[in-house]
Amino acid sequence: MSHPKTPHVVDARYMEPPEPFVKTMEMLDTLKAGEKMLLQLFREPHPLYKVLKQNGHAYEVELLADGTFEILIWP
Amino acid sequence: MEKASLSFDQAPPFSAPLRFFLTAPLFALLAGLLLLWEGPELLLSRWTPGALAATHLLTIGFMLQTMLGALIQIMPVVAGVNIENPIVFARWVHIGLTLGALTLVSGFYFSLPTALTIAAIVLGISVSGFLVGVLRPLSRTPSTSPTIRGIKLAMLGLAGVVGLGMLLAFSLAHGWALPLMALTDLHASWGLGAWGGILLAAMAYVVVPMFQLTPGYQARLSWWFPLLLMICVGVWSLGVLLDVSILGRLAQAVANLLGIGFCGFTLRLQLKRRRARADVTFRYWQLGLTSAIFALIMGLTATLWPDLATSNQWPIVVGLLLIVGGFLSFITGMLYKIIPFLGWIHLQSLGEYKVPAPPMKKILDEPAMNLQMLAHGVALLVLLVAVFVPELVRVGGLFFAIASGLLVWNVFGAARRYRQHSKLILEKLGKL
C-alpha cells in the first residue's frame, strides 16, 4: 500500500492489539537506510513510542480529521 | 517476538488494577442486597437513607473503584503516563476508597454524622493521594491526543465531585445551612459529567475503535467534547454559586445535548464496525449508550419543564438509566475485555514467550459473561418498572443481586484461573 509520505505503510486501524505493534516492528526490520515507514492507527501507541526511543528511532505524529494518527518512523 | 515483549514491560503488575476490579462487584452486590432488604421504601425518593446508600455503593464502591483501578493500568498505554511505585500506590488508594465507601454508606444508611465526617475525610485523602500521584507525571505529558486532554480534564472533574461530596457530607453531619438540593444536583453533574462522562469519552476514543474495530472518532469532535462538557459544568456551578438558575438550566440543556450527541455518534461508529460478531462488550456498550440517551433526553426535558423533575420518580428513573443502565454497563463491558486481555498479556510475559499463554477465553469465557449481562439487563428493566410498581422493587433487587453476584463469580473466577495458569507456566518454564 502506498502513501504520499512513504511507500512503506502499516494500516493498523482495524487490527486488534498486539498486531499493530508486531507488524510495525516487522516492517522496521525490513527498512533500508534512508527509508521511512508509516503507521496508521486510531490511537496514539505510547508503548511503541517507548520502544522506538529505546531503539534510537525517530518519529513524528499527525492527527488527521477522521481521527487517524499517522506515525512516520525512520531509523 | 522478543522485541514485542518490550511493549508490555512498562505496564504495572496485574495485581495493581486487579484489586480494584475484585472489590468493585462486591459493592454492586451489596447494593442489590440492600434493595432486596429495604424493598419499596428504597425507591420512594432519592433522599431516603437507603437510596443515598445504594447510590454511593454504586458510584464510589463500583464506579470510582474500577475507574481509578483502570486508570492506573491504562495511563501508561493510552497517555504514556507512568505512576511511580504502582503497587504501593494502588494498595493505598484501594484501601482508602474501600474503607471510605463503606463508612460513607453506613453514615447514610444509619444516619451517623460521625461516620459521614470520617468518610468524607478518608475519601478526600484517598482521592487527593491519587490526584497527587497522577498529576505530577500527567503535567509533564503534553496533550498530544484528545484522550490525554480528556484525562487531564477528568482529573479536574474528580477533584470537583469529591470536593463537593465532602462539603455535602460535612453539611449533613453538622447541619450547615447550605442549599443542599442545588449542591446535590451539582455534585451529581460533576460526578457523572465532568468526571465520569469526560473520562468515559477519553477512554472511548481509544477502546471503541481498538476493541470493537470501528472507525475512529473525528478529531475535532473528540478534541472539543470534553472541554465543552467541562465548560457546561463550570457554568452550572457558577449558576449555583451566584444563585442564577437560568445559567444552570442553560448549562444543563447544553450538557445533555452534548451527551446525546456523543452517545449517538458512538452508536453510529458501532454500526460501522468491522468485527462481524457482536460480543458481550459490544452489547453492553449498546445497552449503556441507549440507556444513557434516554436518561439525557429526560434530563433535557427537565430543563425545559422543571416541574417534571420535582416528582419523586423522575430523578430515580434518570439515575437508574444513567448509573445502572449507562455507567455500570460501560464499565462491566470494558472489564470483560480488560481482565482477560491483561491476564493474557501478563501470562505471555511470564512465560517469557517460550511457554505460550492460554487463549483469553480460558481466563473468562463468553457464556458466563452473557449470562451475567442477561441478569443485568433484566434487573435494569424490572427496576425501571418498579419505580412505578413498588411491589417489584424486591424482584428488581434480587435480579440486580444475581447480576452482581455473577459478576463477582466471573471476576474472581478469572483471577483464580489466572493464578492457576501462572503456576502451570512457571512449572513448564522450569522444565525447559
User: If you ran DSSP here, which 8-state letter would residue A75 be given?
Assistant: -
pLDDT at res. B231? 98
Closest CA to B77 of B412, B269, B419, B341: B341
pLDDT in tens, A33-60: 899 999 999 999 998 998 999 999 999 9
For residues B337 and B164, give the distance between their C-alpha atoms in angstroms, rounded to a whole number.
33
Per-residue confidence at A1, pLDDT binned at 50, 70, 90? low
Residues of chain B above pLDDT 70, percent: 98
pLDDT at res. B308? 84
Q: Which residue has the higher pLDDT, B311 or B23?
A: B23
Asked if residue A72 belongs to a domain, the reply is no
For residues B278 and A10, give the distance between their C-alpha atoms in angstroms, rounded to a whole number.
26
Per-residue confidence at B35, pLDDT binned at 50, 70, 90? very high
pLDDT in tens, B306-353: 888 888 899 999 999 999 999 999 999 999 999 998 898 889 888 887
Interval B358-368 mean pLDDT: 90
Chain A residues near any Cβ of chain B (below 8 Å) = 13-14, 16-18, 21-22, 25, 42-44, 46-51, 54, 61, 63-69
> Which residue has cell 472518532?
B217
- Give the type of residue at B76: P
pLDDT at res. B359? 87
Residue A27 has pLDDT above 80, yes or no: yes
Place domain B2-431 in its CATH homologous superfamily.
Cytochrome c oxidase-like, subunit I domain (1.20.210.10)
What does the mean pLDDT of chain B come to? Answer: 94
**Mutation choice for B interface testing from A42, A71, A73 by most B CBs within 10 A:** A42
Residues whose CB is less than 8 angstroms from the CB of residue B109 and which lie 6 or more positions away in sequence, other chains included: B34, B49, B50, B52, B53
Closest CA to B90 of B63, B125, B52, B126: B126
Asked if residue A3 belongs to a domain, the reply is no
pLDDT at res. B10? 60
**A54/B7 Cβ within 8 A:** no
Q: What value does the CA radius of gyration of chain B take, rounded to a whole number of Å?
A: 21
Alpha helices for A1-75 (secondary structure H): 19-30, 46-54
Residues whose CB is less than 8 angstroms from the CB of residue A2 and which lie 6 or more positions away in sequence, other chains included: A9
**A14/B145 Cβ within 8 A:** no
pLDDT at res. B310? 84
Domain housing A27: 8-67
Q: Tally the C-alpha atoms within 13 A of residue B331's C-alpha that lie toward its C-beta.
A: 31
Asked if residue A14 belongs to a domain, the reply is yes
Q: Report the chain B residue with the minimal C-alpha distance to residue A41.
A: B216
Residue B105 has pLDDT above 70, yes or no: yes
- Give the type of residue at B432: L
pLDDT at res. A2? 74
What residue spans define the domains of chain B?
Answer: 2-431
Interstrand relation of A37-41 and A8-11 (parallel, antiparallel or unpaired): parallel
Residue B9 has pLDDT above 90, yes or no: no
**A51/B218 Cβ within 8 A:** no
B233-240 long-range contacts, CB within 8 A, separation 24+: B233/B157, B233/B160, B233/B189, B233/B190, B233/B193, B233/B194, B236/B186, B236/B189, B237/B160, B237/B186, B237/B190, B240/B179, B240/B182, B240/B183, B240/B186
Per-residue confidence at B62, pLDDT binned at 50, 70, 90? very high
Phi/psi of residue B418, nearest 5 degrees: -60, -45
Total domains, chain A? 1
For residues B72 and B12, give the distance between their C-alpha atoms in angstroms, rounded to a whole number.
8
- Distance to chain B for A30, nearest Cα, Å: 14
Closest CA to B266 of B246, B287, B237, B245: B287
Residues whose CB is less than 8 angstroms from the CB of residue B64 and which lie 6 or more positions away in sequence, other chains included: B97, B101
CA distances (Å), origin B357, targets B174, B203, B313: 55, 27, 50
pLDDT in tens, B225-275: 999 999 999 999 999 999 999 999 999 999 999 999 999 999 999 999 987
